[in-house]
Amino acid sequence: MNADKTISSLKGVGPETNKKLQILGIENVSDLLHNYPRRYDDYSEISSIENITPGLVTLRALIKNTTGRYVGRGMHITESIAVDKTSSVRLVWFNQPYREKSILPGVEYFISGEFALRNQRLCVQNPTIERADSFNLNTARIVPIYKETKGLKSSQIRKLVKQNIPNIKILPETLPAWLIKKEKLFSRSQAILAMHFPESPELLEKAKKRIGFEEVFELTLAALMNKKDLAGEHALNILFDKDLAKNFVDHLPFKLTDSQKKTVWQVYKDMEREQPMNRLIEGDVGSGKTIVAVMAAVMAIKQGFQVAFMAPTELLARQHADTICELLKPLGMEDKLGLLLGSLKPAQKTQLHAAIGSGKIQFIVGTHALISEKVIMHSLGLIIIDEQHRFGVQQRKKLQSKAGYMPHVMSMTATPIPRSLALTLYGEMDISVIDAKPPGRLPIKTTICSPNSRPQLYEQIDKQLASGRQMFVVCPLIVQSDMLSAESVENVFSNLKSTVFKHRQIGILHGKMKAEEKENTMKLFVNGKLDILVSTTVVEVGVNVPNATVMLIENAERFGLAQIHQLRGRVGRSSHQGHCYLMMGDSSRPSRRIRALEKNSDGFALAELDLEIRGPGAIYGTMQHGALDLRVAKLTDIKMIASARNAAQEFIDSGESLLQYNHLSGRISILRSVTNLN
């Protein structure tokens, strides 16, 4: 079959329908066949009329006495009687006047619809009907429901797919025969046909198993092939210096946790090898990832290498630079540190570029400014990427290219990654988890609040502010919107300043402010000159204010679990008790997600729950074209993921050529180019 045949070549697809299909991303036959239903309505059980009960029903009956009439305000009602050997039932259609002439006498129909009460009488409302002697698309079966757009219904898409059943039956296989046999999978043609026209729930599940397995197999194969190729690259080894590591640790004002010690040792062993490190450091908020990063960096600097530390925002980059400077001072390395930001004046940038190019500056902290063409590294040996999912693949590659060879790469994230994602989307990376917080920190107390409780809540908070503590208030919007019922930074700032907290010093922070304004506001808050900071989620990542003990999140229901968990990690970063208040938009019962936050402080458990409830979505950083979005596979199916990963490894170990599988080879090529490193 010609999968690239345009959709407009199909019967029934004129210019208007073609436009609507393109809105759904369907441009050719292949797109149509891989446009899987979003759900199914089960009309497969055929009932006799005398046995039907309220709900979805399917009947096989004659249709008699069809009449139509207009009622008030132009409403048209068509009524019929369906009759089988057991009884009869009333059928009602609204605004479908063509029904009266289209129903044929003496012909049996399948009738599917909802049997419900209307005007004190039970009837089947707006049923779909099809002749019982034809191939039924919309009745008497498990009916696929597709994503729709205005003017294009699922029934139209079903007709187009039906036209292509002969093509589906001759679809070429895309997986190795040994793999299909070993995993007891449907063939590709069986699976795609059953996805669109399942004959039973059991066959539908087998189809989903095949398609989902293939999606995960492709992802993990791409990741493992990248990992294999990376192992063949040459990096400059950075040797472990025991005295330097001991000197660094001895000057810390606290003891490293066992998790930090284990992680930094894994990093040191990676850097000693001549193969490039590609390690992801996962650590819940406040777990101490930055210390691990700096311990790796000083080892590289001591041996004459440069270190690039890329952060997603200028605010975070400045904070990292301040923290790193203090850590480098006892070693006498603070003069080797530079901060490169897009907002620097041209003269400052020129001076810094020169110092980086000469090797005078060895530890460069910065934002996207690091990947500018004007930045020429002298001897880049180690790259540290903070909150790596906020950077696109191409941005990471540009930074790596500054080395002239493959440098060691350490990525960090405070967003806990469910195990299933670690096995698939991050399969080419070695992963370390820092799962313990520094000693002396108390668990943050999280409380769900309704708007009615504001006066009492503000009273409690004011007592904490009076004792010298500080508060973040986070809002979903910058300015008030007529379209969205949610609090804005500007509105909350104005209200607090003029009413309940008018005796307090309040600042405002959001992404549309100039860099200098943001920096000045943050400095005031860090130095204790502001009691309250009203902000958007720009404070979500990395902002460190140990004296802040209160986090108030407005319209908490509008934020994701991981995001709220990140936000509450901004408080409780000292020996003082931290509090996070989740202010709901109304007095409705909080969702399962919100209630989970009140009871659970484990970021990894919350990440698993978020995946279960909301699904993966576009889950691989700043992916632009959704190539990694999974259509069928469930990332909660750990058993299937493990099987697919083992199969991918077996494929690599077999030495089998990917080129003999055209479709698979094309998919792997795409996936390898959009995953982390290649």
| 387 vs 283: CA distance, rounded Å | 11
Alpha helices in 615-661 (DSSP H): 638-654
| 8 Å CB contact between 67 and 59 | no
Per-residue pLDDT at 619: 41
| 8 Å CB contact between 420 and 220 | no
What is the tens place of the pLDDT at every residue in 98-132? 999 999 988 999 999 999 988 778 999 999 999 99
Neighbours of 658 (CB within 10 A): 15
| 565 vs 597: CA distance, rounded Å | 8
* 396 burial level (CB within 10 Å; 0-12, 13-18, 19+): buried
Which H or E run contains 260?
helix 258-272
Say yes or no: 489 and 367 in one domain: no
Say yes or no: 268 and 371 in one domain: yes
Count how many Cα atoms sit within 13 Å of the Cα of residue 668 in the half-sphere of its side chain: 24
pLDDT tops 60 at residue 678? no
Residue 527 lies in a domain: yes
pLDDT tops 80 at residue 607? no
- Of the candidates 245, 257, 325, 320, the one whose C-alpha atom is nearest the C-alpha of residue 290 is 320
| 418 vs 613: CA distance, rounded Å | 13
- Catalogue the E-assigned strands of 341-456: 363-366, 380-386, 408-413, 430-434, 445-449
| 315 vs 386: CA distance, rounded Å | 13
| 8 Å CB contact between 624 and 392 | yes
3-state secondary structure of 522: helix
How sure is the predictor about 614, in pLDDT bands with cuts at 50, 70 and 90? low
Residue 547 lies in a domain: yes
Per-residue pLDDT at 624: 36
Alpha helices in 382-510 (DSSP H): 393-401, 419-424, 454-466, 489-498
pLDDT tops 80 at residue 616? no
* 268 backbone dihedrals φ, ψ, rounded to 5°: -60, -45
Range of weakest confidence among 146-150, 339-343, 642-646, 673-677: 673-677
Q: Which amino acid is at 519?
A: E
| 8 Å CB contact between 46 and 110 | yes
3-state secondary structure of 112: strand
Give how far the C-alpha of residue 312 lies from the chain's centroid of Cα atoms, to the nearest Å. Answer: 17
Neighbours of 336 (CB within 10 A): 20
| 8 Å CB contact between 305 and 364 | no
Q: What is the DSSP string of 365-378?
A: EESGGGGSTT---S
| 8 Å CB contact between 479 and 488 | yes
Range of weakest confidence among 130-144, 286-300, 305-319, 377-391: 377-391
Say yes or no: 314 and 409 in one domain: yes
pLDDT tops 70 at residue 675? no
3-state secondary structure of 670: helix
Per-residue pLDDT at 618: 35
What is the tens place of the pLDDT at every residue in 546-579? 899 999 999 998 887 878 888 888 888 888 899 9
Mean pLDDT for 266-271 is 96
CA dihedral 258, 261, 265, 271 (to 10 degrees): 140
Residue 386 lies in a domain: yes
Per-residue pLDDT at 601: 81
Q: Which amino acid is at 656?
A: E
Per-residue pLDDT at 622: 37
| 8 Å CB contact between 222 and 672 | yes
Q: Quickly tell me which residue has 């009759």 as its tokens.
A: 83
Say yes or no: 377 and 465 in one domain: no
pLDDT tops 80 at residue 1? no
- Of the candidates 69, 87, 90, 65, the one whose C-alpha atom is nearest the C-alpha of residue 78 is 69
Per-residue pLDDT at 677: 46
Say yes or no: 300 and 449 in one domain: no
CA dihedral 221, 226, 229, 234 (to 10 degrees): -160
CA dihedral 561, 567, 569, 571 (to 10 degrees): -140
What is the tens place of the pLDDT at every residue in 50-85? 999 999 999 999 999 999 999 878 899 999 999 999
| 8 Å CB contact between 504 and 532 | yes
Say yes or no: 535 and 467 in one domain: yes
Say yes or no: 373 and 469 in one domain: no
Per-residue pLDDT at 625: 39
Per-residue pLDDT at 570: 86
3-state secondary structure of 98: coil
What is the tens place of the pLDDT at every residue in 474-497? 999 888 877 777 889 999 999 999
Residue 542 lies in a domain: yes
Say yes or no: 373 and 480 in one domain: no
Say yes or no: 60 and 132 in one domain: yes
* 88 backbone dihedrals φ, ψ, rounded to 5°: -140, 160
Q: Quickly tell me which residue has 């170990």 as its tokens.
A: 653
Residue 628 lies in a domain: no
pLDDT tops 70 at residue 626? no
Look at residues 540, 569, 600 and tell me which one is the last residue of a structural domain: 600
Per-residue pLDDT at 602: 78
Q: What CATH number has the domain bearing residue 126? A: 2.40.50.140
Beta-sheet pairing, 108-118 with 55-70: antiparallel
Residue 86 lies in a domain: yes
Residue 468 lies in a domain: yes
Joined tokens for residue 563: 């995001």
Look at residues 140, 167, 194 and tell me which one is the last residue of a structural domain: 140
What is the tens place of the pLDDT at every residue in 316-343? 888 899 999 999 999 999 999 999 998 8
Per-residue pLDDT at 615: 59
**pTM, entire model:** 0.74
Give the chain's radius of gyration (CA, Å).
31
Q: Please state the domain count of the chain.
A: 3
Say yes or no: 469 and 380 in one domain: no
Joined tokens for residue 55: 């709900």
Residue 213 lies in a domain: no
pLDDT tops 80 at residue 456? yes
Say yes or no: 265 and 397 in one domain: yes
What is the tens place of the pLDDT at every residue in 336-391? 999 999 888 999 999 999 999 999 999 999 998 998 889 999 999 999 998 766 67
Say yes or no: 394 and 482 in one domain: no
Q: What is the DSSP string of 170-212?
A: TPPP-S-HHHHHHHTPPPHHHHHHHHHS-SSHHHHHHHHHHHH
Look at residues 542, 573, 600 and tell me which one is the last residue of a structural domain: 600
Q: What CATH number has the domain bearing residue 521? A: 3.40.50.300
Domain that holds residue 53: 45-140
